[in-house]
Amino acid sequence: MIVLEHASVYYGAGSKRVAAVRDVSLRVAEGEAFGLVGESGSGKSTVLRAIAGLIPHAQGVVRLAGHDMGARRPTESRRMAQMVFQDPYGSLHPNQTVDQTLSMPIAIHKLGDADRRVPAALAEVGLGREHRFRYPHQLSGGQRQRVAIARALILQPRILLLDEPTSALDVSVQAEILNLLTRLRRELGLTMLMVSHDLAVIAHLCERIGVMSGGELLETTTANALAAGNVSHPYTQALLRSNQGFDASGVTG
Amino acid sequence: MTDTLLSVRNLRVVYPGDDGDFHAVRDVSFTLGRERLGIVGESGSGKSTTGRAIMGLVAAPGRITADEMRLGDLDLTRMNEAGFRKLRGKRIAMVLQDPKYSLDPVMTVGDQIAETHRQHVNAGRKAARHAALEMLEAVQIRDPERVYGLYPHQVSGGMGQRVMIAMMLIAGPDILIADEPTSALDVTVQTQVLAIMDNLVRSRGMGLILVSHNLHLVSSFCDRVLVMYAGRVLETCAAGDLANAKHPYTRGLLAALPELGHRRAELPQLQRDPAWLEGPL
């Protein structure tokens, strides 16, 4: 469903050019959930953005559902991959109601029938009709993230790109959102690519996990191997340790 | 716990509102010795407000009342703003979540640390600079001379937080309140920053209050934990026993955490009981 072949993404030009993603290859099968972990600046969010078409990739191939993605994408292929961002307070327009937020993509993609689609999308993420005409500030953090997911789902994408979808949420709300994502994946057969700092969260949702550092994909492992502590790369090991809480013995200098 | 640094009894913080008063902190009592005390809870549970109230940092129209709030020989309930200002930094210090916002962007980090030193100790410029460099070394910054002259935007998050810790500890406070000190940092840097803080707090015999939403972190780092919900302390337990917590709220939070190596099709969701808001503790 998602294929990257030797994909690279650069920011800036000339002497200031930075390779944010270098020569990354990965494939995600239809209906699979793939996780990306790595430190800040490792390029994991950039990979998501390149797949979503928010930034052009400079080299290599990005192929979604068998179609090569060029620098300019037709509206139809943009519809296929939709993204959910970390902080729903930042990603929802504060001056637009939930109804406006959800109607916008329908208008852009000329799907029509907004009056049926909007309540259906809200129901899908567990929100009621009463939330339809509210503004983001009238919703809780968990409800806002549900709206952001509904915004992505309303276009009936086949790929859902999740950039730290629960890290701005409380533990109890995180559980609700993770359960929602599990259910949506099962019911809609979505392919998911998720970025997170939290290994437990990513291992909960994803079968295969890629570890990134310095713009490169260091290794690809499975949730089970991770749980067994069976990882080869030093960075992955460090990540695994810090996810198990505070341990002063593991700290040097 | 041999001696008590801070004792708080029935601390309340109230914000008046149009629809009646909002009780952000309700009857919170605890004591702090030379130990590491964790306060956990969800957003809005009053954990940060509790930390701020101890430092007198609740802005009007918010009101702080307490039956007792005692720092060593000082009665904080009778303290005015001028008194608190002398206290902050010198007796109690606070490290906040994001160093990007808590450091002055137009002053070098070294000068900021030196300024704190001169504020509390009668020292000349040279002595203050020397003290700041020593403190930077204490938080394990490799090249203190170079870092002294950097501006906050030139240092990384982990380094910024170490600068923050240096600034907070230079006046030798008895208590350090760390409010989500590592949440804005990369996972691999978090442990390092915590270890530096832990070492300094231990070697100086200070008391530490760690405010965090991260249950794993608090249970592995602290000695004791207070669990807060809707402004109340629901449960106090030894940090090592957090896994065996009794209160249904704490148990619910722990169950809702995804676990490596223990994959469940569905995570149990927290069912909130209105009785937690009232009822005896």
Tens of pLDDT, residues B1-27: 458 999 999 999 999 988 888 999 999
Using a CB-CB cut-off of 8 Å, the residues of chain B touching A198 are 258
Q: Which two tokens stand for residue A98?
A: 């939930």
Q: Look at residue A137 and tell me if it is in a domain.
A: yes
- The whole-number pLDDT of residue B216 equals 86
How many degrees, rounded to 5, is the angle at CA B137 between CA B136 and CA B139? 70
Using a CB-CB cut-off of 8 Å, the residues of chain B touching A247 are 191, 220
The answer, yes or no, to whether the previous bond of B61 is cis (omega within 30 of 0) is yes
* CB pair distance less than 8 Å for A40 and B42: no
Q: Which residues of chain B have pLDDT under 50?
A: 1
- The whole-number pLDDT of residue B174 equals 93
CA distance A51 to chain B (A): 24
Across chain A, mean pLDDT equals 88
Percentage of chain A surpassing pLDDT 70?
Answer: 97
Using a CB-CB cut-off of 8 Å, the residues of chain B touching A228 are 261
Q: DSSP secondary-structure letter at B240?
A: G
Residue type, position B80, single letter:
N
pLDDT tens per residue across span B118-161: 988 888 999 999 999 999 999 988 899 999 999 999 998 889 99
Cβ within 8 Å of A, B 131-150? 140
CB B131 within 8 A of CB B170: yes
* CB pair distance less than 8 Å for B263 and A203: yes
> How many other β-carbons are positioned within 10 Å of the β-carbon of residue A237?
13
> What CATH number has the domain bearing residue A195?
3.40.50.300
* CB pair distance less than 8 Å for B260 and A243: yes
Chain A interface includes B161 (CB < 8 A): no
Q: In this predicted model, which residue has the larger pLDDT, A157 or A233? A: A157
CB pairs under 8 A between A and B: 97
Chain A interface includes B247 (CB < 8 A): no
To the nearest 10 degrees (0 to 180), the angle between helices A171-188 and B248-256 is 40
CB A52 within 8 A of CB A228: no
Q: Which CATH architecture has domain B6-276?
A: 3-Layer(aba) Sandwich (3.40)
Q: How many domains does chain A have?
A: 1
pLDDT tens per residue across span A77-90: 889 999 998 888 78
- The whole-number pLDDT of residue B1 equals 46
Using a CB-CB cut-off of 8 Å, the residues of chain B touching A182 are 265-266
Q: Look at residue A90 and tell me if it is in a domain.
A: yes
Edge-to-edge strand list for the sheet holding B92-95:
B92-95, B175-179, B207-212, B36-40, B224-229, B232-238
Chain B residue at shortest CA distance from A183: B266
pLDDT above 50 for A252: no
Of B198, B220, B258, the CB nearest to A201: B258
Residue type, position B179, single letter:
D
Residue A185: give the domain boundaries: 2-246
- The whole-number pLDDT of residue A228 equals 85
- The whole-number pLDDT of residue B279 equals 64
pLDDT above 70 for A247: no
- The whole-number pLDDT of residue A253 equals 39
Nearest by Cα to A216 from A89, A85, A38: A38
Q: DSSP secondary-structure letter at A69?
A: -
pTM of the model: 0.84
pLDDT tens per residue across span A95-145: 999 999 999 999 999 998 999 999 999 999 999 889 999 999 999 888 999
* CB pair distance less than 8 Å for B256 and A171: yes
Percentage of chain A surpassing pLDDT 90?
Answer: 53
Cβ within 8 Å of residue A43, ≥6 positions away? A9, A20, A21, A22, A24, A212, A214, A215, A216
